[in-house]
């Protein structure tokens, strides 16, 4: 019975640690050769956008819009990959849990 409590305690600690890491995580990604750079939090909230002035000078606004969408989507994928990697490493450090 105490081993089950210990496992539950470890699971709760792991969840709390992941939550802290999500709160602190900020992913930055660039597309279009650095024309658009975005920053996204671990909760997938867009927290920053940088647009190279050359991208604004172009007459093709649809290209700029596409770059922004691509950068945001790429940042979201990076957040997911980062957290999955961290969850995997935490789980492997607790062999009795999984």
pLDDT bucket at 95, cuts 50 / 70 / 90 = low
**Backbone phi and psi for residue 33, each to the nearest 5 degrees, phi listed first:** 65, 30
Task: Check if the beta carbon of residue 55 is closer than 8 Å to that of residue 16.
Answer: no
Q: What is the pLDDT of residues 53-85, one digit of tens each?
A: 888 876 678 888 888 999 999 999 999 998 888
Is residue 97 in some structural domain? no
pTM score > 0.85 for this model? no
Residue ranges making up the domain that contains 44: 2-92
Is residue 77 in some structural domain? yes
Is residue 43 in some structural domain? yes
Specify the pLDDT at position 86: 81
Is residue 54 in some structural domain? yes
Is residue 32 in some structural domain? yes
What CATH number should be reported for the domain holding residue 10? 3.30.1310.10
Count: domains in the chain: 1
Q: What is the DSSP letter of 20?
A: H
Is residue 98 in some structural domain? no
Instruction: Pull the structure tokens for residue 38.
Output: 């975005």
């Amino acid at each position: 019975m105490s081993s089950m409590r210990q496992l539950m305690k470890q699971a709760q600690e792991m969840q709390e640690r992941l939550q802290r890491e999500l709160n602190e995580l900020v992913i930055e990604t660039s597309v279009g050769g650095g024309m658009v750079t975005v920053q996204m939090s671990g909760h997938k909230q867009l927290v920053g956008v940088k647009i190279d002035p050359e991208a604004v000078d172009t007459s093709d606004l649809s290209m700029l819009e596409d770059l922004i969408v691509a950068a945001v989507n790429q940042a979201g994928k990076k957040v997911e990959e980062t957290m999955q990697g961290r969850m995997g490493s935490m789980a492997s450090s607790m062999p009795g849990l999984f």
